[in-house]
Structure 1
Amino acid sequence: MEYAAARDGMVDSLEHELRGVVEPDPVGTAMRAVPRHEFVDEADHRAYNDRSFEQYGTRVLAPSTAGALVQALAPEPGHDVLVVGAGVGYTSAVLAEIVGDEGVHAVDIARRVVWAARDNLRRAGYGGALVDRRDGARGFPEYAPFDRILVEAAAVDVPRALRDQLAPDGRLVMPLGAGEQRLAVVDGSGVVREGETVSFDPLLVEGEQGGVPVRNRTAREDREHARRHAERRRGWEHDWIEWD
């Protein structure tokens, strides 16, 4: 199987003026270089169809979705990038093509997914990318600040830790919303611009990943919201309360 031709056909469709998902440079060029078949079980031409796959209890984003995320992120060579919700590593590989694999830091809450991402990235030629098992909402403070942060999971608001780890002139991209989600771009000053409607799995916290007992997110969040509301303080007292 000649994968290069399949990759070119995939990216040609994403760059076409009727779709306009990605620009030729740098995102289109990066996607033409990444061997997507190394990241999906269907290691043949089906890997280059514009569809998602389920692996290890996580979703491998469709090429159009991954391309749109990276396009919105606007990474540049030399940037330090954090990927939250690394999955099996495909989006991290596309970013590594642009910023260099040493500039990619990825986290995922599921251990077996982290192992798969590490193996896939190494096999695809991006062994310098760092993938660690972390609660994504807490980011990766050891390597902060980041020029770009990409969150491949949805939340109602941007986690405070991720805001704190974004460089002053940085950019964060993630889906925001509970029911209806929109792809949001957040700059270093905290300004949020919401774009197209999207659909992503929720950002999991410790205890909700696959292989452990599943919590009732709604009930837990309701309890936390009620507790925080009851403990809310004003004035000088607010400064020393650590909500996390």
Structure 2
Amino acid sequence: MDPAVLREDMVDGLEHESKAVLENDDVGVAMRDVPRHEFVPDDRTAYADRDHEYLGTRVLSPSVAARVVQALDPRAGDTVLVVGVGVGYTAAVIAELVGETNVHAVDIARPVVYEARDNLARAGYEGVLVDCRDGARGLPEYAPFDRILVEAAAVDPPQALVDQLTADGQLIFPCGTTRQHLEAVSADGSRERYDAVSFDPLLVDGEQSGAIERNRMAREDVEFAQKRAESRRGWELEWLEWE
């Protein structure tokens, strides 16, 4: 069957009252335009409302992708950073909304980065920049961003990402561990809670697929040292016995 017809059926199903997960007309138009079959390993199920596992990452189901992009609420001309880009499907939907050269994306796994670049170019979104980075550190060279989407779960958003928002920017991330919900964080620290979701955790260097060893402390040590240094209030704390 013609992929364009399958996309129409997919979006119609998301908009139907039986699911009612897609309410934003602009997001619906974008999802009708993005050739999802270029981003999943099985063409036969590309437009079914289900996840796909590939290269150690997860391609979001159409219903979850719709909810995430609607929460992000990107507008034409916004600059957007996607953290944990995976194989690139969500970035392509966002590119339809804001323009492909306004979308920047990072992923910690190099094979996934190569796959995302190939998929996006093949689907017609070669202007999306995809780089191999520790997502929690963002992409400061291109900051600030109007919108940041984190496609991986964390208890709190990494401060480096919040710092890369514009003054009226917004970050969306899955908040929690075993129980998660989408949460929006503004540059001023205010938060808004959305529906329940389930995402894999945000990885640090050494945890990505194909890594030799896991090293969660690599980033945590740097963050702890910085917080410790900032907590000091005077040279006397180095030696004075307060008790």
TM-score by length of 1: 0.89
Alpha-carbon displacement from aligned partner over 1:180-229 (angstroms, at most 9, x marks no partner): 11110111211112222211000001121111134275xx59x959x76x
* SS in structure 2 of the partner of residue 156 of structure 1: coil
The alignment partner of 1:48 has SS state of coil
Structure 2 partner of 1:242 = none
Q: Does residue 236 of the first structure (1) align with residue 237 of the second (2)?
A: no
CA distance in 1, matches of 2:99, 2:194: 28
CA offset digits 1:136-156 (Å, max 9, x no partner): 000000110000000000011
Residue aligning to 1:158: 157
For residues 89-128 of structure 1, the aligned pairs below 5 Å read 89-128=88-127
Aligned residues: 233
Contact persistence 1:15–1:24 (CA under 8 A): no
**Contact conserved, 2:24 with 2:70, CA < 8 A, in 1?**
no
2:43 aligned with 1:67: no
Q: 1:231 deviation in Å?
A: 4.6
- Output the amino acid matched with 1:49: A
- Over the matched positions of the two proteins, sequence identity in percent amounts to 59
User: 1:160 is aligned with what amino acid?
Assistant: Q
- The aligned counterpart of 1:241 is none
Aligned twin of 1:130? 129
Instruction: Letter of the 1:236 partner, please give it.
Output: R
Does 2:172 correspond to 1:173? yes
TM-fit CA distance, 1:19: 2.4
Structure 2 stretches lacking a partner, 5+ long:
236-243
Q: Which residue of 2 aligns with 1:30?
A: 30
How much has 1:237 moved relative to structure 2? Answer: 5.2
Quickly say closer, same or farther: Cα 1:74–1:233, change in 2 above 3 A.
closer
For the pair shown, the structure with the greater C-alpha radius of gyration is 2
Match of 1:41, SS? Answer: coil
**Alpha-carbon shift at residue 131 of structure 1 (Å):** 0.4
| SS in structure 2 at match of 1:5 | helix
Q: Is structure 2 residue 39 aligned with structure 1 residue 39? A: yes
The Cα shift of 1:18 comes to 3.5
Structure 1 distance, partners of 2:125, 2:234, is 48
- Is 1:213 the counterpart of 2:232? The answer is no
Which shifted more, 87-96 or 8-17?
A: 8-17
Is the contact made by 2:205 and 2:214 (CA closer than 8 Å) also made in structure 1?
no
Q: Secondary structure at the match of 2:182?
A: strand
Q: Distance in 2 between matches of 1:24 and 1:105?
A: 23
1:20 to partner: Cα distance: 2.3
Distance 1:104 1:234, change over 3 A: closer
